[in-house]
Amino acid sequence: MENHNHEAKTNQNYLCNSLPQVLVLEPPPVFKFHGDQLSKRFHFLKAWESPLPLHQYLTIHSQSVQALLSSGRNPITSEIIQLLPSLGIIVTPSAGLNHIDLQECRRRQISIVTAGTLYSEDVADLAVGLLIDVFRKISTADRYVRHGLWASQPDYQFPLGSKLGGKQVGIVGLGSIGLNVAKRLEAFGCNILYNSRQKRPSIPYPYYSDVCDLAAHCDVLIICCGLTDETRHMINKEVLLALGKEGVIINVGRGPIIDEKEMVECLVQGDIAGAGLDVFENEPCVPKELVQLDNVVLSPHKAVHSEETLMALCDLVVGNFEAFFSKKPLLTPLVDY
């Protein structure tokens, strides 16, 4: 029996060593659901399972690591990249790239692979879902019924919601996600306006180069852009006050795009009417004021997570790594970064 166990362990080690090695600093969501499938194709160096300090662990594996799978949460800093001289590719399932030192990757000519437009429909669905929830008070009504208030307060008039049709909706960031949001809201009879880095000649919606000006012409502001130095705290008190007391803000981009402290203050004081938030400035910490407000709908940064999309993501991760290790063109490379 002892010989059999030793032989099985030896075979397992041989199989792992024969597979291409991929470094993972922190488990991405796709691991939870499709980790077994991924592990049949690659040998994952799971840094989070090691008792060693990260820099020491990376130093030990520095020469063998050619590929890295990012969770999107753990920063891929220049210090980490410099500890991996053989690194040639970073695959990130995240919709954003603010966690990766792009300048260092560019200097080292490291390929970056993203999920492309894989998440666009899921994120757009959630953005519209949050908006409908805020306008029609679905979560508030759910709590009202579950807590027995409907039966115990028969004379109470539940607060009226607002209809979605006819609203002026400003989309900040008209990329793939923003366009999918616009397509869905047009079907509800909304009027679409947008702000982006530049005007898109092929897009018929009114363009506003200044986000504060956009907010002043809108009932709703939906944040779909990425987080950069330019967009950090772009949605500040001035923008929120321009949106107005009847205005609603939805964020499916990144938390720090909104100055969260100023947004909380505006919500508490009634300077805006409500918010639907999938992302926050200091995740997973959510300001207690937001939790206590009935006009705010909260989601734990899950806009991109559906069964179908995670399965497609698994295929995309496998396809990109296989292309890299076989020296074939990558499926979804980030270009011109």
Catalytic residue numbers? 254, 283, 301
Alpha-carbon distance 23 to 31, whole Å? Answer: 13
Alpha-carbon distance 300 to 280, whole Å? Answer: 9
Structure-block tokens of residue 245: 């007391």
Alpha-carbon distance 134 to 199, whole Å? Answer: 29
Dihedral sign from CA coordinates of 187, 192, 198, 204: positive
